[in-house]
Amino acid sequence: MSVASAVEAYLAHLTVERGSSANTVRAYRGDLDRYVLHLRERGLDELAAVRETDVGEFVSALRSGPVPLAASSAARALAAVRGLHRFAARDGLVAVDVAKPVTAPALPGRLPATLTVDQVDQLLAGCVGDGPLALRDRALLEVLYSTGARISEAIGIDLDDLDAGERTVLVRGKGGKQRIVPVGRPALAAVDAYLVRARPGLALRGRGTPGLFLNARGARLSRQSAWHVLRGAAEAAGLDPTAVSPHTLRHCFATHLLAGGADVRVVQELLGHASVTTTQIYTHVTVDALREVYATSHPRARG
């Protein structure tokens, strides 16, 4: 089978059998198209002809080409390539998974960027006004911080997913996995104001979408638009917009919970992480805060 045909079969497998998101499949397609071109330039069109060294050279080329990729981007590209070869070997398209021994480039140990509690209050206070979009924006940001949901998860919330009586919301995470997350009273109050005074008018402009958060045309809010809401609120609040990312409020949610004494496994469950190892990166942030307190308070730490 040709490499290009194997790529199409693998992407179809991700979509149909694995239930991967459209964003994931799109990213993998870009990485695998680059891989196909790399192999074709070396005269390799058949997947069975690819060797471990060819995969390794592809990763090296990503890091040292005319426009070198960051280690994280190269690691993602290798993940796509390894997934392709693993799929091909498992389905009998090739005899051996030649990509399995190839390792990803080392990633820098960066901690997630977070805001202080006061900065989050400042950010939320940046959403002012009684217009429909202002009420929606405040409700969206309150839900993001209150639940730790990813932006893609928040815009995927339907009206029926929110249980105001139980103060919970059903969130659909990666791979279609669902989890129930508590919602704080400030977020519920912001959502209630939006539902009563804003959403009905927005919904009249659309076609009856069940989505909780709607755009000006009455359709479900897009991820990109939600990201612009967050960036706009940061600018309005006088915060550095470059320090705010789509995951900022999610990072704040986790960090502030752990700093307040929450168990890391509870935070893992709330975030929807498959492994507690992923959640433990936030413990390093709180350790930095503990170290600062120690350095300024302990008599043997000063001087």
pLDDT at residue 140 in the model? 97
203 and 156 part of one domain = yes
> pTM value?
0.63
Average pLDDT, the chain: 87
152 and 272 part of one domain = yes
CATH number of the domain at 240, please: 1.10.443.10
Q: Higher model confidence: residue 263 or residue 243? A: 263
207 and 84 part of one domain = no
Q: Which two tokens stand for residue 35?
A: 């891989």
Q: Is 194 in contact with 39 (CB distance < 8 Å)? A: no
Q: Which two tokens stand for residue 259?
A: 């700093």
Which residues are part of the catalytic machinery? 150, 174, 247, 250, 273, 282
Q: Is the pLDDT of residue 109 over 90?
A: no
- Residue 214 inside a domain? The answer is yes
pLDDT range class, residue 300, cuts 50, 70, 90: low
**Taking Cα atoms as reference points, which of 24, 30, 102, 113 lies closest to residue 60?**
102
Q: Is 158 in contact with 212 (CB distance < 8 Å)? A: yes
**Taking Cα atoms as reference points, which of 50, 247, 49, 31 lies closest to residue 145?**
247
pLDDT at residue 70 in the model? 77
Give per-residue pLDDT as tens, 27-46: 899 999 999 999 999 999 99
Q: Higher model confidence: residue 231 or residue 105? A: 231
pLDDT at residue 292 in the model? 66
Q: Is 251 in contact with 282 (CB distance < 8 Å)? A: yes
Percent of the chain whose predicted confidence (pLDDT) is above 90 = 56
| Cα gap 205→84, rounded to integer Å | 43
Q: Which two tokens stand for residue 183?
A: 């919602």
- Residue 192 inside a domain? The answer is yes
Q: Is 237 in contact with 123 (CB distance < 8 Å)? A: yes
pLDDT at residue 62 in the model? 84
163 and 277 part of one domain = yes
pLDDT at residue 169 in the model? 95
71 and 132 part of one domain = no
Distances (CA, A) of 82 to 7, 29, 41, 88, 225: 11, 13, 20, 10, 33
Q: Is the pLDDT of residue 148 over 60?
A: yes
Q: Is 232 in contact with 251 (CB distance < 8 Å)? A: no
pLDDT at residue 290 in the model? 63
- Residue 42 inside a domain? The answer is yes
| Cα gap 247→227, rounded to integer Å | 9
pLDDT range class, residue 21, cuts 50, 70, 90: confident
pLDDT at residue 73 in the model? 81
11 and 133 part of one domain = no
135 and 278 part of one domain = yes
Query: Which residues, including other chains, have CB under 8 Å from residue 200's CB and lie 6 or more apart?
Result: none
φ, ψ dihedrals at 163, nearest 5°? -115, 95
What's the total number of domains in the chain?
2
Among 91-105, 178-192, 262-276, the range with the most confident prediction by mean pLDDT is: 178-192
- Residue 109 inside a domain? The answer is no
Q: Is 252 in contact with 123 (CB distance < 8 Å)? A: no
pLDDT at residue 112 in the model? 65
* Full DSSP string of the chain: -BHHHHHHHHHHHHHHTS---HHHHHHHHHHHHHHHHHHHHTT--BGGG--HHHHHHHHHHHHHSSSPPPHHHHHHHHHHHHHHHHHHHHTTSSSS-TTTTPPPPPPP-PPPP---HHHHHHHHHT---SSHHHHHHHHHHHHHHHH---HHHHTT-BGGGEETTTTEEEEE-GGG-EEEEE--HHHHHHHHHHHHHTHHHHHTTTT---BSSB-TTSSBPPHHHHHHHHHHHHHHTT--GGG--TTHHHHHHHHHHHHTT--HHHHHHHHT-SSHHHHTHHHHHHHHHHHHHHHHH-TTT--
Give per-residue pLDDT as tens, 216-232: 999 999 999 999 999 99
The domain boundary residue, chosen from 72, 90, 108: 90
Q: Is 112 in contact with 245 (CB distance < 8 Å)? A: no
| Cα gap 29→7, rounded to integer Å | 8
pLDDT at residue 132 in the model? 95
pLDDT at residue 243 in the model? 78
Q: Is the pLDDT of residue 104 over 90?
A: no
- Residue 174 inside a domain? The answer is yes
180 and 247 part of one domain = yes
User: Residue 83 is part of which domain span?
Assistant: 3-90
CATH number of the domain at 30, please: 1.10.150.130
285 and 191 part of one domain = yes
pLDDT at residue 160 in the model? 95
Q: Which two tokens stand for residue 239?
A: 């915060």
